[in-house]
Structure 1
Amino acid sequence: MNAGTATPFNIRFGPKEPRIGSDLWSSEHTSIRSARLVNYWRIVWLVVNPKQAIVLVAAGSGSRLGMGVPKAQVRIGDATILEHALRACLASRIDAHVCVVLPPGDDTLRAVVDHSGGPSVTVVEGGVTRQASVRAGLSTLPSTVRYVLVHDAARALTPPEVFRRVLQTLMDGAEAVTPGVAVADTIKSVSDGCVAATPARAGLRAIQTPQGFTLELLRRVHSETSDADITDDAMLVESLGVPVRVVEGHPEAFKVTTPLDLMLAEALVRRAREHAGEQQ
């Protein structure tokens, strides 16, 4: 029987066949190497030429939480509030430069960023007010940035899809965007200890972060407006008469402000960890 001819059992004698799985192994590892190379160049491009940015504000004192340390240092489960917030920013998979605004001289939180961040994450020291802290973050952003998301680290458990929803609305043409959730309670306006009005609940939203803006607009409103009573960046934009689009927020994007908020956050993290264990 000549080499290379087929037997009745379709066995061929000829050139040595490759070992079982060797082609698969080679193909699989080539794909892994290619993916790593693509990711490397994506990060290089992001660092050099970012189009989006996230300013993560973590400079608050946390006095209402009453833990005796800056709020971002407080732990929720096995990680600090800042770690959870930074993970949420990175998990959104938005190709964004992230600027973390920290309390001046806080080496503890700086170490958290160094450990949890990456080449696209930078740090700047904040100011006395939230507006001053946001301005400090804006001042460090590269000139290539077009859209900026401002996020409160205290909303540490904000799901990644909220970030993506805000950014997509900006990319679709809005100049200012905020997430919000419908309110469950009846809200009343009070004056001199008496009810002045009861606004229709259907038109009310509890506003969250991240809030998104074109960088040009946000820098302009911060340079033109300074009001201690303004509590978020959307209010700054509203003061200039610029429309602010509202997109769907998420119940888990609540702000950790009081001990009760912290208890809820810990319960959510514990539930998520238990669910992940059940999935394994």
Structure 2
Amino acid sequence: MHAVAIVAAAGSGSRLGADLPKALVPLAGRPLVCWAVEGLLAGGVAEVVVVVPAAQRAEFEAVLPPEVTVVDGGATRTASVRAGLAAAGSAATAVLVHDAARPLTPPGAVARVLGALGAGALAVVPVLPVVDTTVLVDDDGLVVDAVPRAPLRRVQTPQGFDRATLEAAYDALEPDAELTDDAAVVRRAGVAVTTVPGDERSAKVTVPHDLALAELTLTLGETTT
């Protein structure tokens, strides 16, 4: 199996208090996107396509390895993934879609997604259990019901797909549709999505507190498996 990873890296860094794309915000002296790409390659992908804001393409090309393909993203995440798919090499039979904002995803998590694809799954997402009590509230903010936690999961990336299946699902998607992730795209096409265990270290960096936790994780040396 030849796998390509598409890294969505076009998000703004405004909630991090940065005046540059989030993926270029430094973590321990290196941009978030560099950590993300490194983890994907260590986990077993053969090639990486990074989808970036067109205005900052040169900045991304300056920090990424030369073997990484950098392409301009679209106005939405869905459009950006379409651009990544179009740039993927013809040899790729599997596609992983990953968020650059999850820089410390361990190689082992990547390998679990690839393993499920290799075993025949058409779509795979890494998940974690929901540990907090979860409730429904009304328009006034009053609790109206508690949601059972046992069947709930938090979905992470990288999400993995048989390439032909993902491309067909995107071809069938309405041009103006904007879904929250790629698993939703294939589910809309009627494809079953398999789950594998995720990893707490795959946490998304969104606000300064998240970046501080990622720095602490690196300090403790907990990113290698």
What residue in structure 2 maps to residue 172 of structure 1? 119
CA distance in 1, matches of 2:197, 2:109: 8
Question: Which range moves more in the overlay, 63-72 or 222-231?
Answer: 222-231
Q: TM-score, normalised by structure 1?
A: 0.74
Paired residues of 2:5 and 2:45 also in contact (CA < 8 A): no
Structure 1 distance, partners of 2:60, 2:219, is 23
Q: CA deviation at 1:218?
A: 1.0
**Residue 63 of structure 1 pairs with residue 14 of structure 2:** yes
Partner of 2:101: 154
Q: How many Å separate the matches in 1 of 2:125 and 2:134?
A: 20
Answer whether contact 1:53 1:141 (CA < 8 A) is retained: yes
Amino acid at match of 1:128: A
Q: Once the two structures are superposed, what CA deviation does each residue of 1:210-268 show, in whole Å capped at 9, x if it has no partner? A: 00001111112222224655211011112222111010000000110111111111111
State the partner residue of 2:185.
Answer: 236
In the alignment, which residue of structure 1 is the partner of 2:137?
190
Question: Which residue number in structure 1 is paired with residue 76 of structure 2?
Answer: 129
**Contact residue 85 and residue 155 of structure 1 kept, 8 A:** yes
Deviation at 1:143, TM superposition (A): 2.4
Question: How high is the sequence identity, in percent, across the aligned residues?
Answer: 45
TM-score by length of 2: 0.91
Secondary structure of 2:111's aligned partner: helix
**Structure with the larger RCO, 1 or 2 (CA within 8 Å, 6+ apart):** 2
Is 1:203–2:135 an aligned residue pair? no
For 2:178 and 2:136, the matched residues in 1 are separated by: 17
Q: Which has the higher helix share?
A: 1
Q: Which runs of 5+ in 1 are unaligned?
A: 1-49
Residues 63 and 221 of structure 1, relative CA distance in 2, 3 Å threshold: farther
Pairing 1:271–2:220 present: yes
Q: What's the RMSD between the two structures over aligned residues?
A: 2.0
Distance (Å, rounded) in 2 between the aligned partners of 1:230 and 1:189: 22
Structure 1 partner of 2:206: 257
Unaligned runs of 5+ in 2: none
Letter in 2 for 1:82: V
Secondary structure in 2 matching 1:219? helix
2:111 & 2:142 partners in 1: Cα distance?
42
4+ long deviations beyond 3 Å? 193-197, 226-229
Deviations 1:175-215 (A, max 9, x none): 10000111221112334234344221111111000000011
Contact 1:74 1:80 in 2 (8 A): yes
CA deviations on 1:130-176 (whole Å, 9 max, x unpaired) are: 11111100001122221100010100000001111001101101110
Distance 1:72 1:95 in 2: 20
Matched residues in 2 for 1:86 and 1:267: separation? 20
